[in-house]
Structure 1
Amino acid sequence: MPYEAPTHTVERSLRATTGAKIIAGVDEVGRGAWAGPVTVCAAVTGLRRPPEGLTDSKLISPKRREALADELEGWVTAHALGHASHDEIDDLGMTAALRLAAVRALESLPVRPDAVILDGKHDYLGAPWQVRTVIKGDRSCIAVAAASVIAKVRRDKMMAELGLDHADFGFAANAGYPSPVHRAALEERGPTPYHRLSWAYLDALPQWRHLKKARSWAEASAPEIEGQLGFDF
């Protein structure tokens, strides 16, 4: 599939307008999954030419994505991962869990960024970080694209390992996201210890509905979060 290669345009703009020198691209993976953590990668790239084929992780084949992630980890100036667990997602809600994972990633970097480029239109990070949101930043911005590939590959590997004791759920293939195999396993066996229990998929499982956790967090009705919770089973 043809694509327009990401650039350093946003980084150059931030340098010119804010004086920022260290800029981290941030992207997440796992927001729409039924099981497992949400994972955020923060990547600092400088203004160097990226490895060939870098773009949004979803546009890259799994085999190429894995090889590219390994290459990127040696190419970036710095990177770090942050996770918020399924329990933290249930207890805090997705917006707060995303912020928790992002802060963990950013604070794990060996240098503190002067500015952050955040994929998407919603700033779930906020103060004290200086944030620039970029819609489809994982396709247009080199630092965000690098973060998207690393986050995707590392979370996929984590989910495959979590699925070793739950082979029927197909975590190695679906990474905890909705799929026919995942749905069938839930129907028969119910949630694993890694499932998010505040999510709507349990509403369609009468035999397991008693396990559902009530959502008491403040943003439960926020439109951007409702869209992630309202899967039809």
Structure 2
Amino acid sequence: MAYEPPTHSVERSLRATTGAKIVVGIDEVGRGAWAGPVTVCAAVTGLRRPPIGLTDSKLLSPKKRTALARELNSWVTAHALGHSSPEEIDALGMTAALRLAATRALDTLPVRPDAVILDGKYDYLGAPWTVRTVIKGDQSCVSVAAASVIAKVRRDAMMAELGADHTDFCFEDNAGYPSPTHRAALRDLGPTPHHRLSWAYMDGLPRWRHLKRIRNTPEPVGLEDEGQLGFDF
């Protein structure tokens, strides 16, 4: 299936309206997973022509995504990754965990961006950054699309590594997201050290419900995640 390629229109607009010289695109992966970290990539691409086939990582096959990530690693001007662990997600909530992972990525970049493009509707980064949110930015903005692909491939590899010690959960296939195999393993074996224990899916596991962690700080309206909703096992 052919997709409309992303452009530099948002990057150019930010340069024109804010005077920014360095614009970074940010995207996350793992927000809706039940296990594993949430991963954020910050990518600076300049205004060069992007690699052929660049788009939202979710629209690419694993084979194409992996090949494109290898190309992007050397094509982007700069990029960095940041992660928040399941323990941090449980303690802080997803919004703060996203902010922490994004800050870690930005702090690791070899250049200091003047402006940030965030994929989605909500600004989870905030001051002191100049932020523009773009719905479906991972499809329309070159820098965000590049961040999307790099983040997805890296987190998938991390989950495959974690899955080596928890083979019944098939993390190499589901990357910690809900799947029939994942749900069955949770029901029979209980959560691993890599699971997010504050999420509502734990309420559907009577044998393991005593392990649930309670966090008193609710997510802002609109930033709740599918993984925090109840699930019928």
Same-fold status (TM-score > 0.5): yes
Tell me what 2:231 maps to.
Answer: 232
Give, in angstroms, the shift of residue 3 of structure 1: 1.1
TM-superposed CA distance for 1:63, in Å, is 0.5
* Contact 1:220 1:226 (8 Å CA) reproduced: no
3-state secondary structure, aligned to 1:155: helix
Structure 1 residue 224, shift from structure 2 partner: 2.2
Check conservation: 2:203, 2:230, Cα contact below 8 A. no
State the alpha-carbon separation in 1 of the partners of residues 30 and 89 from structure 2: 11
Which SS does the other structure have where 2:164 is aligned? helix
Taking the aligned partners of 2:222 and 2:204, their CA distance within structure 1 comes to 21
Distance 1:115 1:20 in 2: 6
Q: Distance in 2 between matches of 1:214 and 1:228?
A: 15
Matches within 5 A, 1:76-95: 76-95=76-95
Q: Deviations 1:130-171 (Å, cap 9, x if unpaired)?
A: 000000000000000000000000000000000101000010
Q: How does 1:1-233 map to 2 (within 5 A)?
A: 1-217=1-217, 219-220=218-219, 222-225=221-224, 227-233=226-232
CA distance in 2, matches of 1:114, 1:23: 6
**Residues 5 and 221 (structure 1), Cα distance of their counterparts in 2 relative to 1, 3 Å cut:** closer
Instruction: Please list every run of 5 or more consecutive structure 1 residues that lacks an aligned counterpart in the other structure.
Output: none
1:228 Cα deviation (Å)? 4.5
Residues in 1 aligned to 2:225 and 2:41: alpha-carbon distance in whole angstroms: 24
Structure 2 regions of 5+ residues with no counterpart? none
Q: Distance in 2 between matches of 1:187 and 1:157?
A: 25
Cα contact 1:115–1:129 (8 A) shared by 2: yes
The AA in structure 1 aligned to 2:134 is V
Shift of 1:16: 0.7
> 1:231 deviation in Å?
4.4
**CA–CA distance in structure 2, aligned partners of residues 103 and 71 of structure 1:** 25
CA distance in 2, matches of 1:64, 1:220: 35
| TM superposition shift of 1:2 | 2.2
The aligned amino acid for 1:144 is V
Listed one character per residue, the Cα deviations across residues 47-69 of structure 1 (whole Å, up to 9, x for unaligned) are 00011000000000000100100
Q: Alpha-carbon deviation of 1:210?
A: 0.3
Identity of aligned residues (%): 75
Aligned residues: 232
Aligned-CA RMSD value: 1.0
CA 1:44–1:221 in structure 2 vs 1: closer, same or farther (change >3 Å)?
A: closer
Separation (CA, whole Å) in 2 of partners of 1:222 and 1:215: 16
> Aligned equivalents of 1:115 and 1:200: distance in 2?
36
Kept in 1, the 8 Å contact 2:200–2:227? The answer is no
User: Between Structure 1 and Structure 2, which shows a larger proportion of helix residues?
Assistant: 1
- Helix, strand or coil at the partner of 2:223: helix
Instruction: Answer whether contact 2:23 2:113 (CA < 8 A) is retained.
Output: yes
CA deviation after TM superposition for structure 1 residue 222, in Å: 3.1
